[in-house]
Structure 1
Amino acid sequence: SKDMIAVRIGPDWRLAVVASPEYFARHPAPATPHQLTEHTCINIRHQPAGAIYAWEFAHKGQDFSVKVDGQLVFNSIMHVLNAAVDGIGVAYVPEQLVAPYLADGRLVEVLSEWCPTFQGYHLYYPNRRQSSAAFAAFVEALKYNR
Protein backbone atom coordinates (compact mmCIF):
# COMPACT_ATOMS: atom_id res chain seq x y z
CA SER A 1 0.00 0.00 0.00
CA LYS A 2 0.93 3.60 -0.43
CA ASP A 3 3.06 4.97 2.39
CA MET A 4 3.80 1.54 3.89
CA ILE A 5 7.17 -0.13 4.48
CA ALA A 6 7.89 -3.86 4.53
CA VAL A 7 11.06 -5.10 6.22
CA ARG A 8 12.05 -8.76 5.99
CA ILE A 9 12.34 -10.29 9.47
CA GLY A 10 12.75 -13.97 8.59
CA PRO A 11 14.13 -16.34 5.96
CA ASP A 12 12.14 -18.03 3.24
CA TRP A 13 10.67 -21.32 4.43
CA ARG A 14 8.93 -24.41 3.16
CA LEU A 15 6.70 -27.18 4.43
CA ALA A 16 7.69 -30.85 4.26
CA VAL A 17 5.48 -33.91 3.80
CA VAL A 18 6.65 -36.44 6.41
CA ALA A 19 5.69 -39.66 8.14
CA SER A 20 7.43 -42.22 10.28
CA PRO A 21 9.28 -45.15 8.70
CA GLU A 22 6.74 -47.43 10.43
CA TYR A 23 3.85 -45.65 8.70
CA PHE A 24 5.51 -45.98 5.28
CA ALA A 25 6.23 -49.67 6.01
CA ARG A 26 2.44 -50.16 6.27
CA HIS A 27 1.47 -47.78 3.42
CA PRO A 28 3.39 -47.13 0.20
CA ALA A 29 4.77 -43.59 0.01
CA PRO A 30 2.82 -41.26 -2.28
CA ALA A 31 4.44 -40.44 -5.62
CA THR A 32 2.32 -37.31 -6.17
CA PRO A 33 0.41 -34.98 -3.84
CA HIS A 34 -2.90 -36.25 -5.22
CA GLN A 35 -2.09 -39.70 -3.83
CA LEU A 36 -2.20 -38.19 -0.33
CA THR A 37 -5.99 -38.60 -0.48
CA GLU A 38 -5.33 -42.36 -0.15
CA HIS A 39 -3.42 -41.84 3.11
CA THR A 40 -4.24 -41.05 6.71
CA CYS A 41 -3.17 -37.43 6.98
CA ILE A 42 -2.86 -35.29 10.09
CA ASN A 43 -4.55 -31.94 9.59
CA ILE A 44 -4.24 -28.57 11.27
CA ARG A 45 -7.06 -26.12 11.87
CA HIS A 46 -6.09 -22.49 11.50
CA GLN A 47 -7.50 -19.91 13.86
CA PRO A 48 -9.49 -17.68 14.03
CA ALA A 49 -11.45 -18.76 10.96
CA GLY A 50 -11.23 -22.41 11.98
CA ALA A 51 -10.71 -23.73 8.46
CA ILE A 52 -8.69 -26.89 7.92
CA TYR A 53 -5.54 -26.13 5.96
CA ALA A 54 -5.48 -27.40 2.37
CA TRP A 55 -1.95 -28.56 1.64
CA GLU A 56 -0.27 -26.31 -0.94
CA PHE A 57 2.01 -27.64 -3.68
CA ALA A 58 3.69 -26.48 -6.87
CA HIS A 59 4.97 -28.35 -9.90
CA LYS A 60 6.24 -27.04 -13.24
CA GLY A 61 4.93 -23.55 -12.50
CA GLN A 62 1.47 -24.76 -11.42
CA ASP A 63 0.33 -23.96 -7.88
CA PHE A 64 -2.42 -26.17 -6.46
CA SER A 65 -3.74 -27.45 -3.17
CA VAL A 66 -4.93 -30.84 -1.98
CA LYS A 67 -7.55 -31.34 0.72
CA VAL A 68 -6.45 -34.41 2.63
CA ASP A 69 -8.41 -36.63 4.98
CA GLY A 70 -7.58 -38.08 8.35
CA GLN A 71 -9.09 -38.73 11.73
CA LEU A 72 -6.96 -36.18 13.54
CA VAL A 73 -7.20 -32.40 13.32
CA PHE A 74 -5.09 -30.29 15.66
CA ASN A 75 -4.71 -26.57 16.23
CA SER A 76 -1.03 -26.89 17.18
CA ILE A 77 1.76 -27.81 14.78
CA MET A 78 3.60 -29.58 17.61
CA HIS A 79 0.68 -32.00 18.03
CA VAL A 80 0.75 -32.66 14.28
CA LEU A 81 4.49 -33.35 14.46
CA ASN A 82 4.15 -35.67 17.48
CA ALA A 83 1.37 -37.66 15.78
CA ALA A 84 3.57 -38.14 12.71
CA VAL A 85 6.51 -39.31 14.85
CA ASP A 86 4.13 -41.75 16.58
CA GLY A 87 3.28 -43.32 13.20
CA ILE A 88 -0.33 -42.17 13.05
CA GLY A 89 -0.15 -40.65 9.57
CA VAL A 90 1.34 -38.18 7.13
CA ALA A 91 1.96 -34.57 8.19
CA TYR A 92 2.76 -31.31 6.40
CA VAL A 93 5.00 -29.32 8.73
CA PRO A 94 7.69 -26.63 8.54
CA GLU A 95 10.96 -28.04 7.25
CA GLN A 96 13.07 -26.46 9.98
CA LEU A 97 10.85 -28.00 12.65
CA VAL A 98 11.25 -31.54 11.30
CA ALA A 99 14.96 -31.32 10.41
CA PRO A 100 16.16 -33.07 13.61
CA TYR A 101 13.58 -35.85 13.16
CA LEU A 102 14.67 -36.38 9.55
CA ALA A 103 18.33 -36.40 10.57
CA ASP A 104 17.86 -39.11 13.20
CA GLY A 105 15.48 -41.21 11.09
CA ARG A 106 12.32 -40.78 13.17
CA LEU A 107 10.64 -39.23 10.12
CA VAL A 108 10.98 -39.67 6.36
CA GLU A 109 10.28 -36.88 3.86
CA VAL A 110 8.42 -37.50 0.60
CA LEU A 111 7.27 -35.26 -2.26
CA SER A 112 10.02 -32.69 -1.59
CA GLU A 113 10.11 -31.64 -5.25
CA TRP A 114 6.43 -30.65 -4.98
CA CYS A 115 6.76 -28.48 -1.84
CA PRO A 116 7.07 -24.77 -2.64
CA THR A 117 9.15 -22.22 -0.80
CA PHE A 118 7.17 -19.46 0.92
CA GLN A 119 8.42 -15.93 1.36
CA GLY A 120 9.77 -15.16 4.82
CA TYR A 121 7.95 -13.00 7.33
CA HIS A 122 7.96 -9.21 7.07
CA LEU A 123 7.28 -6.36 9.46
CA TYR A 124 4.77 -4.09 7.73
CA TYR A 125 4.36 -0.59 9.08
CA PRO A 126 3.35 2.92 7.95
CA ASN A 127 6.03 5.26 6.65
CA ARG A 128 6.45 7.96 9.24
CA ARG A 129 9.09 10.47 8.40
CA GLN A 130 9.79 11.09 12.07
CA SER A 131 9.82 7.64 13.67
CA SER A 132 11.13 7.48 17.19
CA ALA A 133 14.67 6.29 17.82
CA ALA A 134 13.24 3.39 19.84
CA PHE A 135 11.08 2.23 16.91
CA ALA A 136 14.01 2.52 14.49
CA ALA A 137 16.14 0.42 16.87
CA PHE A 138 13.31 -2.15 17.14
CA VAL A 139 13.06 -2.44 13.33
CA GLU A 140 16.84 -2.75 13.02
CA ALA A 141 16.92 -5.49 15.68
CA LEU A 142 14.23 -7.52 13.88
CA LYS A 143 15.66 -7.08 10.39
CA TYR A 144 16.68 -10.37 8.81
CA ASN A 145 20.20 -10.37 7.42
CA ARG A 146 21.09 -13.26 5.15
Structure 2
Amino acid sequence: MPDSDAAPLPPPERDAAWRSPLTALVLGAVLHLGATGLWSWIDPLSRGGQVQLLAHTAVGILALLPWARYQWIHLARTWRKPLSHHLVLGWASGVLLLAAMASGAVVTVQAGWGTRVAPAWHALHLGTGLASFALAAVHSLVAAVK
Protein backbone atom coordinates (compact mmCIF):
# COMPACT_ATOMS: atom_id res chain seq x y z
CA MET A 1 0.00 0.00 0.00
CA PRO A 2 1.46 3.41 -0.91
CA ASP A 3 2.49 5.76 1.83
CA SER A 4 -0.26 8.32 2.47
CA ASP A 5 2.38 11.06 2.66
CA ALA A 6 3.35 10.25 -0.92
CA ALA A 7 -0.15 10.82 -2.29
CA PRO A 8 -0.78 14.05 -4.15
CA LEU A 9 -2.59 16.77 -2.28
CA PRO A 10 -6.37 16.69 -2.72
CA PRO A 11 -7.58 19.50 -5.02
CA PRO A 12 -8.85 21.78 -2.21
CA GLU A 13 -5.51 21.57 -0.36
CA ARG A 14 -3.53 21.94 -3.59
CA ASP A 15 -5.57 25.02 -4.54
CA ALA A 16 -5.08 26.48 -1.06
CA ALA A 17 -1.32 25.90 -1.32
CA TRP A 18 -1.21 27.74 -4.66
CA ARG A 19 -3.29 30.61 -3.22
CA SER A 20 -1.13 30.92 -0.12
CA PRO A 21 0.27 34.44 0.39
CA LEU A 22 3.66 32.87 1.15
CA THR A 23 3.63 30.98 -2.16
CA ALA A 24 2.68 34.15 -4.04
CA LEU A 25 5.38 36.15 -2.26
CA VAL A 26 8.11 33.61 -2.96
CA LEU A 27 7.11 33.00 -6.59
CA GLY A 28 6.92 36.75 -7.14
CA ALA A 29 10.32 37.27 -5.54
CA VAL A 30 11.92 34.50 -7.63
CA LEU A 31 10.37 35.96 -10.80
CA HIS A 32 11.60 39.45 -9.86
CA LEU A 33 15.08 38.18 -8.97
CA GLY A 34 15.33 36.29 -12.25
CA ALA A 35 14.17 39.25 -14.35
CA THR A 36 16.31 41.86 -12.59
CA GLY A 37 19.29 39.50 -12.50
CA LEU A 38 19.05 38.99 -16.26
CA TRP A 39 18.65 42.71 -16.86
CA SER A 40 21.64 43.68 -14.73
CA TRP A 41 23.74 40.94 -16.37
CA ILE A 42 22.81 41.92 -19.95
CA ASP A 43 23.01 45.70 -19.41
CA PRO A 44 25.22 46.29 -16.34
CA LEU A 45 26.53 49.76 -17.13
CA SER A 46 23.33 51.59 -18.01
CA ARG A 47 21.33 53.57 -15.47
CA GLY A 48 18.50 51.05 -15.83
CA GLY A 49 20.86 48.15 -15.22
CA GLN A 50 22.19 49.81 -12.08
CA VAL A 51 18.67 50.46 -10.77
CA GLN A 52 17.74 46.83 -11.48
CA LEU A 53 20.83 45.66 -9.60
CA LEU A 54 19.78 47.70 -6.55
CA ALA A 55 16.23 46.31 -6.79
CA HIS A 56 17.64 42.80 -7.23
CA THR A 57 19.79 43.19 -4.11
CA ALA A 58 16.97 44.64 -2.00
CA VAL A 59 14.45 41.96 -3.01
CA GLY A 60 17.08 39.24 -2.56
CA ILE A 61 17.73 40.35 1.02
CA LEU A 62 14.02 40.69 1.80
CA ALA A 63 13.24 37.30 0.22
CA LEU A 64 15.74 35.26 2.25
CA LEU A 65 13.51 34.45 5.24
CA PRO A 66 10.20 33.98 3.37
CA TRP A 67 11.99 31.76 0.83
CA ALA A 68 13.58 29.66 3.59
CA ARG A 69 10.20 29.25 5.31
CA TYR A 70 8.49 28.30 2.06
CA GLN A 71 11.22 25.79 1.19
CA TRP A 72 10.97 24.21 4.64
CA ILE A 73 7.19 23.78 4.34
CA HIS A 74 7.45 22.56 0.74
CA LEU A 75 10.22 20.11 1.59
CA ALA A 76 8.25 18.71 4.54
CA ARG A 77 5.21 18.26 2.30
CA THR A 78 7.10 16.53 -0.52
CA TRP A 79 9.86 14.67 1.35
CA ARG A 80 8.28 11.21 1.13
CA LYS A 81 6.94 11.42 -2.39
CA PRO A 82 8.14 8.74 -4.83
CA LEU A 83 10.97 9.66 -7.17
CA SER A 84 9.76 11.34 -10.35
CA HIS A 85 10.99 13.80 -12.94
CA HIS A 86 9.05 16.55 -11.16
CA LEU A 87 10.66 15.72 -7.81
CA VAL A 88 14.16 15.71 -9.33
CA LEU A 89 13.42 19.02 -11.04
CA GLY A 90 12.23 20.47 -7.73
CA TRP A 91 15.27 19.23 -5.83
CA ALA A 92 17.63 20.55 -8.50
CA SER A 93 15.97 23.96 -8.59
CA GLY A 94 15.86 24.12 -4.78
CA VAL A 95 19.55 23.28 -4.38
CA LEU A 96 20.54 25.73 -7.12
CA LEU A 97 18.35 28.44 -5.61
CA LEU A 98 19.95 27.82 -2.22
CA ALA A 99 23.38 28.24 -3.82
CA ALA A 100 22.19 31.40 -5.61
CA MET A 101 20.82 32.86 -2.36
CA ALA A 102 23.99 32.00 -0.42
CA SER A 103 26.34 33.31 -3.11
CA GLY A 104 24.12 36.39 -3.48
CA ALA A 105 24.56 37.08 0.23
CA VAL A 106 28.35 36.78 -0.15
CA VAL A 107 28.39 39.04 -3.23
CA THR A 108 26.20 41.59 -1.41
CA VAL A 109 28.56 41.68 1.57
CA GLN A 110 31.60 41.96 -0.72
CA ALA A 111 30.01 44.78 -2.72
CA GLY A 112 28.73 46.62 0.34
CA TRP A 113 31.71 46.35 2.64
CA GLY A 114 34.63 45.40 0.45
CA THR A 115 36.54 46.98 -2.35
CA ARG A 116 35.36 44.57 -5.03
CA VAL A 117 33.36 41.42 -5.72
CA ALA A 118 35.50 38.29 -6.14
CA PRO A 119 35.14 36.96 -9.70
CA ALA A 120 34.59 33.37 -8.50
CA TRP A 121 31.68 34.39 -6.25
CA HIS A 122 30.22 36.52 -9.03
CA ALA A 123 30.46 33.60 -11.48
CA LEU A 124 28.93 31.20 -8.95
CA HIS A 125 26.04 33.59 -8.28
CA LEU A 126 25.47 34.20 -11.98
CA GLY A 127 25.54 30.51 -12.92
CA THR A 128 23.39 29.26 -10.07
CA GLY A 129 21.02 32.20 -10.46
CA LEU A 130 20.42 31.60 -14.17
CA ALA A 131 20.11 27.83 -13.76
CA SER A 132 17.83 28.04 -10.72
CA PHE A 133 15.58 30.61 -12.40
CA ALA A 134 15.14 28.35 -15.44
CA LEU A 135 14.58 25.17 -13.42
CA ALA A 136 12.26 26.83 -10.89
CA ALA A 137 10.17 28.23 -13.76
CA VAL A 138 9.83 24.79 -15.36
CA HIS A 139 9.16 23.14 -11.97
CA SER A 140 6.42 25.67 -11.17
CA LEU A 141 4.83 25.36 -14.61
CA VAL A 142 4.79 21.55 -14.39
CA ALA A 143 3.24 21.77 -10.91
CA ALA A 144 0.63 24.28 -12.06
CA VAL A 145 -0.41 22.09 -14.99
CA LYS A 146 -0.62 18.94 -12.83
TM superposition score normalised by structure 2: 0.22
Q: Which has the higher helix share?
A: 2
Greater relative contact order (Cα 8 A, min sep 6): structure 1 or 2?
A: 1
TM superposition score normalised by structure 1: 0.22
The structure whose Rg is larger is 1
Q: Which has the higher strand share?
A: 1
